[in-house]
Amino acid sequence: MLARGSATASIIACGLPPSRKHRYAPGHAVTITVPTGPNFKLRNIDTPMLRTLKWIFIALFVLLVTAAGWFWYTYKSPYGYHPAEPAMVDTRIPRQDVFVYGTLRYSGIRWLVTGRAGDSRPATLAGYRKQDLDVIPDDGGQVEGEIISVTPDELRALDRYERVGVRYQRESVKLEDGSIVWIYRLIDP
């Protein structure tokens, strides 16, 4: 009869290695009792390496949650961005072109900011040169970038990302091909 919380199985030993307590001969029956039930607990397998891995995963999770919270607060929440005067967005124009030359060239960043990666096409801005995070007028210079076409709501999201009125200003410029687009330039200190 089996004790409560255990299960028994009979197997035929087929060349099992000998243990300290028993010698198994091929062809002999062996009975193994495996504890089960609500009171059964595995031994605590807690090694220094597992503890270290656990803390690394916890730290990565906290870092991920913190980064997501910062991103939401900075770019999506109604808090944290209060320009003195919001930039004008003409809602009568369904799509507006924006010349991007920095992080907005990456579709993943555009997707995070506007909710849509969108298509872009290469473009050149003549009469300017790139300096750090800005483009400044330069007669012989040119800046390689991309043009993205955005809706009025996406333009507002880009304005928030670029901190229009706080860090950048949105200006209208003429590209080398003659098209007129928006561009973000640093506000003079």
Query: What does the domain layout of the chain look like in residue ranges?
Result: 6-35, 96-186
Residue 5 in this model has a pLDDT that exceeds 70:
no
What pLDDT does residue 89 have? Answer: 86
pLDDT at 129 over 60: yes
What pLDDT is stored for residue 75 in this prediction?
73
Report pLDDT digits (tens) over 138-167: 999 999 999 999 999 999 889 888 888 788
Instruction: Report yes or no: 138 and 128 within 8 Å, Cβ to Cβ.
Output: yes
Q: Which residues, at least 6 apart from 22, have a Cβ–Cβ distance to it below 8 Å?
A: 30
Looking at domain 96-186, its CATH architecture is: Roll (3.10)
| CB proximity list for 21: less than 8 A, separation 6 or greater | none
Instruction: Note the pTM of the prediction, 2 decimals.
Output: 0.62
Find the length of the chain: 189
pLDDT for position 34: 58
Are the C-beta atoms of residues 164 and 187 closer than 8 Å to each other? no
Question: What letter does residue 85 receive in the DSSP assignment?
Answer: S
Residue 65 pLDDT > 90: yes
- Backbone dihedral angles phi then psi of residue 97, each to the nearest 5 degrees: -95, 140
Whether residue 42 has pLDDT greater than 60: no
DSSP state of 87: P
The pLDDT score that the predictor gives to residue 146 is 93
